[in-house]
C-alpha cells in the first residue's frame, strides 16, 4: 500500500475525478455571429469540419478538422471563420474535482498546460468515444446517466493517455517527416495516400489531416507541387516533348500534367517555357512560388488596401473589395485578361480559380504597413519606392505625435469601434485607424484590446453589453455607409450602455466616416497624418 501511495503522489491526474456537465454540437454558417464566450467550467473545443481561427486571451490557434483544445474555468474564447464554409464543432464542458485527504474540492486551475498537445492524431483515437457520448447524452434515468458517465470516463482516459504519452507525438512526427522526404526524393514513383499512410503507420484519413497541418496542402497536391517544380527545371534546360518531361517527373498522362501545371503556375507548360525569361519568381503570403511578369501592365487587386499599391506607383485596372457576401466574378476577371492578380485573403479554392486565369499572389492586408509595402515592393521591383515611402511616413508620424502629445495625458487610452456586416459591433485591433493611434508616443489600448493586439487580431467582434470592457478614455466611432450598420450605430449612441461610458460623459467621442478614416492602406494612412492632429486639436482645446 505504501508503494501505491508514493506512486500516486507522482501522478498528477490520479488526484482528480471528472464529471461531464454539457455536450453540444454547433454548426456556424459563414455569416454567424460568434462572440467571445466565457467558460465557467473546464471545456474541450473539438473541431469536426471547416477551418477557422481560435483566440484564447492573447493566444491564437488554427481551428481545423481534428483539432482539440482544452480551456480552463475563467478563460474566454472566440472563434472566427477562415473561409466561406460552415464551421462544425463540439463544446464539451465538465467539472474536475481534486481529492484532498478524502475530500473533494472543485478544481479551477488549468489541467492541461500544453494547449496544442491535442491535435489531429488525438481526434482520430477519441472520435468513436465522442460519437458514443452524443448517443447517450439525453439520459432519462439513473441507469442511462451511469452509462453516459462511463462513456465520459473513457473519453478522459483517451485524452489523458494522449496527453501523457509524450513519445507518441515524436514518433508520429518522425514518421510523417519520413514520408515527406520520400515524396521529395522518389517523386517519379507511383505514390498514393494509402502508400504514404502505411509508411507512417496511421490510417489514410488521419494521415491526410496530419499532412495538411504540417504542410498546408493535401498529400496529392503536395506531390503534384514537387513534380511541377522539377518539371520547371526540365522545361528550362531541354526541348524534349511534353510527354517525356511529364514521364520524367512522375506523370503518366501528358494532359493531366498540363492541367496540373496550369493550376499551380497559372500558365501552360509551353507558355511557361516561352515567358520564363521575362518573369520574376516570388513567394506570396501563403507560400506559393509564383512567376510574375517583370513589369506587369494589367494588374487586378481584390481587397481593401489598394492604396498600398498605388503608393508604389502601381496602376490597377480593377480594384474591388470582396468577402463571402460579395464573391469575385471569375468570368468577368477572365474577360479583363490580367497579367497579374493580387488577392487579399487565404481562400485556397478561390486562389486556385484565379491562378488559372493569370499569375496570382495572395496578399495579407492584416499585416503591418511596413511589412505590406516591403513585400509588395520586393514583388514588383519597387524596393526603392517602398523604402523611401516608409522612411518618409515614419518620420512624419513621429513629428505628428510630438505635436499631438501636448494635447493628451500620458497613459490615456483610446478605442476604435465600428459596426460592420450588418448590426455586428467590432473593436479594431491592428488595422485601420487603430495602429496609428497606438504609436509608442500615442494612446494606449485598454487591456481587452491589448489582448487582441497580442494575439495578432485585426479586429474583434463584441456585444454592446460588453462595451465598457473595450472603451478607452477616447472613443473613435466609425460611421459606416451600409444602412443596417448605420442604424445599429445610431441605436448604440442612444443606448444606456453608451451614455454611461466615461468617454461619452467627458465629450471625448469622435464620430468619423468609416471610408475616410478606418482604411489601413498606405494612402489613407498618409492622409491621416494631417487629419488626426486637426481632429484632436478641435476637440481638446
* Cα–Cα distance for residue pair 222/242, rounded to 1 Å: 21
* Cα–Cα distance for residue pair 451/429, rounded to 1 Å: 9
pLDDT digits (tens, 9 = 90+) for 511-534: 999 989 998 899 999 999 999 998
Q: Dump the DSSP string for 5-51.
A: HHHHHH-SGGGEEEEEEEEEEEEE-TT-----EE-SSEEEEEEEESE
Q: What is the mean pLDDT of the chain?
A: 88
Residue 403 is given by DSSP the state H
Average pLDDT over residues 354-358: 91
Least confident of 2-6, 356-360, 459-463, 537-541: 2-6
Average pLDDT over residues 426-431: 93
Cell numbers linked to 416: 476604435
- 361 DSSP β-pair partners: 342
* Phi-psi label, residue 227: left if phi above 0, alpha if psi -120 to 50, beta otherwise: alpha
pLDDT digits (tens, 9 = 90+) for 27-55: 999 888 899 999 999 999 999 888 888 99
- 20 DSSP β-pair partners: 94
Q: Is the whole model's pTM more than 0.75, yes or no? A: no
Q: For the chain, what is the radius of gyration of the CA atoms?
A: 27
Indicate the pLDDT class of residue 538, thresholds 50, 70 and 90.
confident
Indicate the pLDDT class of residue 7, thresholds 50, 70 and 90.
very low
Indicate the pLDDT class of residue 6, thresholds 50, 70 and 90.
very low
pLDDT digits (tens, 9 = 90+) for 294-305: 889 899 999 989
CB-based contacts of 103, cutoff 8 Å, min separation 6: none
Least confident of 166-180, 335-349, 511-525: 166-180
End-to-end C-alpha distance for the chain, whole angstroms? 78
Amino acid at each position: 500500500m505504501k508503494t501505491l501511495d508514493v506512486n500516486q503522489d507522482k501522478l498528477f491526474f490520479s488526484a482528480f475525478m471528472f464529471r461531464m456537465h454539457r455536450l453540444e454540437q454547433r454548426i456556424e454558417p459563414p455569416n454567424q455571429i460568434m462572440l467571445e464566450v466565457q467558460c465557467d467550467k473546464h471545456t474541450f473545443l473539438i473541431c469536426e469540419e471547416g477551418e477557422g481561427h481560435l483566440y484564447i486571451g492573447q493566444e491564437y490557434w488554427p481551428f481545423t478538422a481534428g483539432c482539440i483544445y482544452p480551456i480552463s474555468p475563467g478563460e474566454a474564447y472566440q472563434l472566427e471563420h477562415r473561409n466561406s464554409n460552415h464551421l462544425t464543432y463540439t463544446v464539451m464542458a465538465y467539472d474536475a474535482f481534486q481529492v484532498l485527504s478524502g475530500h473533494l474540492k472543485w478544481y479551477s486551475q488549468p489541467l492541461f498546460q500544453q494547449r496544442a498537445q491535442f491535435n489531429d492524431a488525438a481526434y482520430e483515437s477519441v472520435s468513436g468515444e465522442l460519437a458514443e457520448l452524443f448517443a447517450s447524452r439525453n439520459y432519462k434515468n439513473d441507469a442511462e446517466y451511469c452509462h453516459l458517465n462511463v462513456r465520459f470516463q473513457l473519453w478522459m482516459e483517451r485524452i489523458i493517455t494522449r496527453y501523457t504519452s509524450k513519445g507518441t507525438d515524436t514518433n508520429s512526427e518522425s514518421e510523417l517527416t519520413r514520408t515527406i522526404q520520400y515524396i521529395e526524393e522518389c517523386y517519379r514513383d507511383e505514390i498514393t495516400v494509402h502508400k504514404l499512410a502505411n509508411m507512417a503507420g496511421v490510417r489514410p484519413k488521419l494521415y491526410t489531416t496530419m499532412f495538411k497541418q504540417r504542410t498546408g496542402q493535401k498529400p496529392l497536391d503536395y506531390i503534384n507541387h514537387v513534380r511541377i517544380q522539377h518539371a520547371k527545371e526540365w522545361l528550362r534546360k531541354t526541348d524534349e516533348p511534353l510527354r517525356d518531361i511529364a514521364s520524367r517527373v512522375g506523370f503518366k498522362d501528358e494532359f493531366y500534367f498540363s492541367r496540373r501545371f496550369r493550376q499551380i503556375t497559372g500558365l501552360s507548360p509551353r507558355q511557361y517555357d516561352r515567358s520564363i525569361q521575362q518573369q520574376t519568381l516570388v513567394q506570396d503570403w501563403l507560400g506559393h512560388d509564383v512567376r510574375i511578369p517583370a513589369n506587369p501592365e494589367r494588374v487586378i487587386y481584390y481587397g481593401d488596401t489598394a492604396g498600398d499599391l498605388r503608393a508604389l506607383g502601381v496602376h490597377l485596372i480593377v480594384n474591388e473589395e470582396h468577402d463571402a457576401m460579395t464573391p469575385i466574378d471569375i468570368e468577368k476577371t477572365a474577360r479583363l485578361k490580367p497579367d497579374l492578380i493580387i488577392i487579399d485573403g487565404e481562400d485556397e479554392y478561390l486562389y486556385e480559380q484565379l491562378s488559372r486565369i493569370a499569375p496570382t499572389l495572395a496578399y495579407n492586408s492584416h499585416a503591418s504597413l511596413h511589412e505590406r509595402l516591403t513585400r509588395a515592393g520586393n514583388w514588383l521591383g519597387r524596393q526603392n519606392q517602398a523604402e523611401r515611402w516608409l522612411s518618409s511616413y515614419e518620420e512624419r508620424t513621429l513629428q505628428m505625435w510630438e505635436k499631438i502629445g501636448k494635447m493628451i495625458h500620458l497613459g490615456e487610452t483610446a478605442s476604435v469601434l465600428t459596426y460592420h456586416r450588418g448590426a455586428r459591433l467590432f473593436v479594431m485591433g491592428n488595422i485601420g485607424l487603430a495602429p496609428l493611434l497606438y504609436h509608442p508616443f500615442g494612446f494606449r489600448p485598454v487591456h481587452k484590446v491589448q489582448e487582441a493586439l497580442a494575439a495578432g487580431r485585426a479586429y474583434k467582434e463584441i456585444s454592446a453589453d460588453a462595451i465598457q470592457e473595450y472603451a478607452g478614455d477616447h472613443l473613435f466611432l466609425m460611421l459606416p455607409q451600409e444602412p443596417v450598420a448605420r442604424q445599429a450605430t445610431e441605436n448604440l449612441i442612444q443606448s444606456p450602455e453608451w451614455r454611461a461610458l466615461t468617454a461619452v460623459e467627458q465629450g471625448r467621442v469622435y464620430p468619423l466616416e468609416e471610408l475616410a478614416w478606418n482604411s489601413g492602406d498606405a494612402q489613407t494612412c498618409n492622409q491621416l497624418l494631417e487629419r488626426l492632429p486637426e481632429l484632436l486639436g478641435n476637440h481638446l482645446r
